Amino acid sequence: MKIQKYQSQLMFIYMLLFSYHRYAIAERKHENRERKTYIVHMDKSHMPASFEHHHEWYYTSLKSAADSAEMLYTYNSVIHGFSTRLTEQQAKSLKSQPGTLSIVPETRYELHTTRTPEFLGLGLGLGESDQLLPTSTSQSDVIIGLIDTGVWPELKSFDDMGLDPVPSSWKGECEEGKNFKSSDCNRKLIGARFFCKGYEAILGPIDESTESKSPRDDDGHGTHTATTAAGSATTSASLFGYASGTARGMAPHARIAVYKACWLGGCFTSDILAAMEKAIDDGVNVLSMSVGGSISDYYMDTVAVGAFSAIRKGILVSCSAGNAGPDSGSLSNVAPWITTVGAGTIDRDFPAYVTLGDGRNFTGASLYSGKPLPNKLLSLIYAGKASNMTNGNFCMSGSLNPADVSGKIVVCDRGGNSRAQKGLVVKRAGGVGMILANSEAYGEELVADAHLIPAASLGQNEADDIKKYILSDDNPTATIGFSGTELGVKPSPVVASFSSRGPNPLTPEILKPDLIAPGVNILAGWTGRVGPTGLESDTRHVSFNIISGTSMSCPHVSGLAALVKAAHPEWSPAAIKSALMTTAYTAYRNGKPIIDVATGLPSTPFDHGAGHVDPIAALDPGLVYDVTVNDYIDFLCALNYSSDQIKHTTSQESSCSSGKTYRVRDFNYPSLAVTLETASENGDGRAVNSVKYTRTLTNVGSPGIYKASMSVHDGSIKVRVEPESLSFNRMNEKKSFIVTVSAGSMPSGTTSFGHLTWSDGRHTVTSPITFTWT
């Protein structure tokens, strides 16, 4: 009996332990499902004396709030803190502990997805403009870091022939991983790292059958941006014969370091922040980031916080403005210490021709290179009439009825899925060709794609004409032809429809974007992993691809900033940015303003910022609007940031003086965004609209006398500059001036534009001005 009783007790204890174990496992699984990734900012000055190292303090703080949590990354340069996975309750517990500045939830960012050196005036000859370019030796001292999808190192664009040994200041390395060896780096590609802990914490382990857990680029985007910024000159470059010639980056002798933080599932801020920290510590001079997310206050914006740490170390940060245009206020990356880049076209097109059965001809764009259509007219149908789905007009996967489209050319509306995928949907349904029709959102913008079937992209007006023809004709027919590459296209540049627009949704007093650069139909290096469309079924392999986006315009400016840095290594990031902005142009050689392709009307500073970049002029700007770290802190004080919010943004101890007046409008930015009051309906009909702006110019050229001139579109706005002339006698001399704007009341939302130019007869230093009534 005693034995049986003992056995029963053992069985009870076993069952109890087993049940508890199962309960604990279930609880742990539930907790893991409830966890989210957070970036934890710690106040370094609050570390208790009992700890010898900050990492010990971080670990103990984390374990006291969540004993099973682990740190994904620790950060020492961009911020002081770490990233981890926590439940909401654990995050609250950690936030309440002494020394915790803030806890920011993980954010997923998206990628903002040849001829351009010549278009920008960076010729291969020995003309007068080429004499201003920095030497290859000084260029090779500059290192461009790119945070993106990695790199395809075998491309000739990464050839290091003729380059000197790697600069002694470089502290980076080439990390090994799947399909990537340290020997894949050389004197051109001097660094390669990858960051995936944040990605894997949310989406699980990387599927190494589809992407490489290493710096290798399986997407193509990172290779394209890297070679755009600083690719070595490569002859006989083209995509299927399109855009043939010598491809080279903006700074072809600069070094490249890649930081892979973007994967097939996106780019997560904990990984981006870790990549920024390594780039800063490694010693890059320019940091290029063609990614973007939602707008948030600067102290909550991971990229803005990381970028501040970079500019503190003298690193210029260039970011894409976003591809959410032409909507107003659609920008990303708007911090004033970031160079925000929109997109324009270049003077090169890839014409495709659509001929209708009634004899009319329309010109579109395409990079199709396969078998042409038969030399006859083919039946034509609108996708919306060949589908039983409400969104059938977009040619979404499986939306077309094969019986309706077999053997026909199909008109598909742009939007909803990728442009090339629409052609694949048509092909799978039995169609033989596609006309890609722009809607009002895309206007007359023509983006070329390497389609898998004969296809042409058409602007809205011509696409609408074709749809009307289909409705009016009992037997509509058409054919599509292709004619290769066309150079010397005018007008160019025009602002791309997709390029995100101002005004600045976070700080309207800071004009964004800063400027535009080539971002439409850009030829650059590509991965060997996927075809030019990126579609799984596209088995073609190319060394170069032609794609579009502010992702492409950003590395143009990154490379051009490297050129300016090479020519003027002592300049601050703000001085380089000012040089690029104040020498940008807003009109064609005939004097007419740059066009916005979305409207067909002249573009405004909300579209193009300071204008289209002009690298040769930027090398010798005459004067610059320089900004120090303390100036940026004063800017944050003007936003009424608390000491903790400033510390969160800048990772340094700072406070605002109670005896000092801080105003955003006095921040020394190279542009002016003027906000004016609209009179109250209950008032006397008048609004006091006299505001003053202070700016300071620094001489970076020869001595000279600069005179101010104003141009304002609205004659009712009065602008006065005091003094009207500035005399500079020596290098780095500073002179300040005041701009006074006076204007009456206008309806809220009214905008107008103008510009202020300082000139000594040789240099023109131009700042765009926007006027907005609120």
Q: Is 358 a catalytic residue?
A: no
Cα–Cα nearest to 173, from 182, 162, 163, 161: 182
9, burial (CB in 10 Å: exposed 0-12, middle 13-18, buried 19+): exposed
Q: Is 46 a catalytic residue?
A: no
Q: Rounded distance, CA 349 to CA 347, Å?
A: 7
Would you give the DSSP letter of residue 447?
-
Q: Are 563 and 316 in contact (CB under 8 A)?
A: no
Q: Rounded distance, CA 341 to CA 515, Å?
A: 5
Contacts of 774 (CB under 8 A, 6+ apart): 508, 675, 676, 677, 678, 748, 749
Would you give the DSSP letter of residue 677?
P
Q: How many residues does the chain have?
A: 774
Phi, psi of 151 (to 5 degrees): -150, 150
Taking residue 329's Cβ as centre, other Cβ atoms within 10 Å add up to 17
Type and span of the H or E element at 466: helix 460-472
Phi, psi of 144 (to 5 degrees): -100, 120
Q: Are 338 and 309 in contact (CB under 8 A)?
A: no
Amino acid at 244: S
Cis, peptide link before residue 374, omega less than 30° from 0: no
Of 148, 218, 282, 596, the catalytic one is: 148
Of 499, 551, 651, 671, the catalytic one is: 551
Q: Is 148 a catalytic residue?
A: yes
What is the pairing mode between strands 409-413 and 433-437?
parallel
Cis, peptide link before residue 493, omega less than 30° from 0: yes
Cα–Cα distances in angstroms (integers) from residue 14 to residues 6, 24, 470, in the given order: 12, 15, 77
Of 80, 112, 221, 608, the catalytic one is: 221
β-partners of residue 764 are: 759
67 token code pair: 């004993």
122 token code pair: 């960076």
Q: Rounded distance, CA 736 to CA 695, Å?
A: 6
350 token code pair: 């890839």
Q: Rounded distance, CA 557 to CA 565, Å?
A: 12
Q: Rounded distance, CA 180 to CA 152, Å?
A: 9
Q: List helix spans (H) across 194-301.
A: 197-203, 221-230, 269-282
What is the pairing mode between strands 255-260 and 704-712?
unpaired
Amino acid at 501: R
Cα–Cα nearest to 334, from 376, 292, 282: 292
Taking residue 614's Cβ as centre, other Cβ atoms within 10 Å add up to 16
Q: Are 224 and 249 in contact (CB under 8 A)?
A: no
528, burial (CB in 10 Å: exposed 0-12, middle 13-18, buried 19+): middle
582 token code pair: 């104040």
Phi, psi of 383 (to 5 degrees): -60, -35
Q: Are 732 and 571 in contact (CB under 8 A)?
A: no
Cα–Cα nearest to 501, from 514, 486, 483, 519: 514
The CA-to-CA distance between both ends of the chain, in Å, stands at: 91
Type and span of the H or E element at 645: helix 643-650
Annotated catalytic residues are 148, 221, 551
